[in-house]
Structure 1
Amino acid sequence: MKKSTMIALLLILPGMAAFLFFNLWPIIYSIYLAFTNAQLGNFPIYNAAQSTVSPMHFVGLENFRWILGDDKFRSAFMWTWLFVFTSVTLKVFVGTALSLLYNSKYVKGKMIYRSLLIIPWALPLLFSVTVWKFMFDPVFGPINIILKSIGVSNLPNWTNNAFWGFIALNIIEVWLAYPFMMTVITSALQSVPDTLVEAAIIDGANYWQRIRHVVLPVVGKPIAFATILTSAASFQYFMVPYIYNAPLFEDKFLLLYGFRKAFGASPHYGRAAAVMVIATLVLAVYMYVNVKISKLQEGARG
């Protein structure tokens, strides 16, 4: 082996070791815990002499059977997919609408508007969610104050009602994620040949016909790619509902449900790890199927 190759391997060895320790090892250990009865009272770092729980041991698929039979898990699984559907639809719609608007030749100062519209990307997540939580406050929040001023009497309880809280989280998610969709779609719109649009105008196509038959077929692949990525992110939704009101959404989001299993009133690390393994498998299958569908559609168009 050449000396330069040996030096290169030695230089990347610390990075590889750090990756394996901080990324691969926790994943492997979490999978191991999913097949054990690991709890607070029998975890290796706990003083076993004071524990009233049986020692940690292998339990096979018992954690998975318990999780799949839990009503809260089934509720969290259903609501998570509902959130994926609603939030992704809103993000794609808002991102596409803004992209089309600020890609129009009739809009002046487009660069300024685009710079302002990506502000949600630049703000810390904790700050953004905290501000939104105040805005949705049922008593002092600006949103309910505005609703009251226009005559709405039965004001929504955005922070303590699960339904209205779910609506609020969709709004927050659109605010946080539309810059990504807008950036991807705007970049794709730049690749639409002007000659195609001009030919459609000559043929008598109106604005919506040009969008449907000329623009969308060209930018469809980038939109599909961005949709797959943002839907995967929505499936892993955790930090926003946790900051907003974790107890309210314990049975509404899968990762929050798993987190509460690990760090709730009765910690059970084995069941929490089983939730994470199930979520990972479901997400992997979802991503694989979507990528295959995208390739099949691309092949059909070809």
Structure 2
Amino acid sequence: MRRRTLTVMALIIPGMVAFLFFNLWPIIYSIYLSFTNAKLGNFPVYSHSGVAPLHFIGLANYGWILTDPGFREAFLWTWLFVVTSVTLKVIVGVFLSLLYNSKYVKGKIIYRSLLIIPWALPLLFSVTVWRFMFDPVFGPVNMILTSLGVAHPPNWINNPNWGFVALNVIEVWLAYPFMMTVIIAALQSVPSNLVEAAIIDGASYWQRLRHVILPIVGKPIAFATILTSAASFQYFMVPYIYNAGLFQNRFILLYGFLKAFGGIPYYGRAAAVMVIATVILAVYMYVNFRLTHLQEGAKG
């Protein structure tokens, strides 16, 4: 038994060490940096060109961030993006799931395989293609709008509001396979006898959907919604590739990244932004899972 225990520990410890080094240590070090004046010239422990050496400054970075109009703007726009993108992802995911779970659709396996293509494609490739699609001069989107009679199609690349709309479209494209997979799996658990009983009772399709199907698949949809909303809150790579300068005050993580590597690098302030974002996300996830747990308890 002791030999078996030692064998198990020998297999577990390397993974634990790797986890602590690549996950926990960067978090701890970022928290430390957020309480220092770390910036270009004194990072990590040296200084030159008249830059003050690295030292502890308390909550000064947090005070500066919380009073910066750019951070407040990024905070509000990030949550607006969470609301709009998650709503669209849930609607598209539910629609496609119901469509390709219908007995009237032939070749569902082929269609489902094609619909998860966004998962298979590299993110850089997908965003680059979408950026070309939304190009205001040569993009197919504006060409189609022009052919439909739109005299002045939107500038999807350089206008922040239209760019925000474009990012919602791109996010739906990237995330609907996850929503569709979860919802289709949940639909498989809906008892057919309940649906048949509702049909016999004269319930319409929308009545069956509202009173029979959605209550059963509601929990998986809620779980997927929580996860995808957390992903939308951490939106960074897509706006960075699409047009980082256009959205520097529209997404929290992009705002923090540009504080660290754009213009004059302030690593301490950037670390403070990341810590604030992590705390907000942790509280958000806890509240959502807590509410879900309470709702389950009330039903029980």
For the aligned pair, the TM-score class normalised by the smaller chain equals: over 0.9
Contact 2:36 2:54 in 1 (8 A): yes
State the match for 1:169 in structure 2.
167
Matched to 1:194, the amino acid is S
SS at match of 1:156: coil
State the match for 1:119 in structure 2.
117
State the match for 1:13 in structure 2.
13
Counterparts of 1:163-242 in structure 2, within 5 Å, are 163-242=161-240
2: CA distance between counterparts of 1:104 and 1:24? 45
1: CA distance between counterparts of 2:103 and 2:164? 37
SS at match of 2:149: coil
- Alpha-carbon distance, 1:7 to partner: 2.6
Contact 1:42 1:51 in 2 (8 A): no
Q: Deviations over 1:74-111 (max 9, x none)?
A: 00000000000000000000000000011111111111
State the match for 1:110 in structure 2.
108
State the match for 1:279 in structure 2.
277
TM-score normalised to structure 1 length: 0.97
Structure 2 unmatched runs, 5+: none
2: CA distance between counterparts of 1:301 and 1:198? 24
2: CA distance between counterparts of 1:137 and 1:204? 50
2: CA distance between counterparts of 1:10 and 1:223? 39
1: CA distance between counterparts of 2:45 and 2:96? 53
2: CA distance between counterparts of 1:195 and 1:15? 47
How many residues are paired up? 300
Give the % identical residues. 77
2: CA distance between counterparts of 1:18 and 1:176? 30
Contact 1:147 1:155 in 2 (8 A): yes
Moved more, 292-301 or 268-277: 292-301
Does 2:114 match 1:130?
no
Contact 1:254 1:279 in 2 (8 A): yes
1: CA distance between counterparts of 2:165 and 2:141? 13
Contact 2:45 2:53 in 1 (8 A): no
Matched to 1:121, the amino acid is W
State the match for 2:247 in structure 1.
249
Q: Deviations over 1:138-171 (max 9, x none)?
A: 0000000110011001210000000000000000
Structure 1 unmatched runs, 5+: none
Matched to 2:134, the amino acid is F
SS at match of 2:155: coil
CA RMSD of superposed structures (Å):
1.0
Matched to 1:155, the amino acid is P
Counterparts of 1:79-98 in structure 2, within 5 Å, are 79-98=77-96
Contact 1:157 1:164 in 2 (8 A): yes
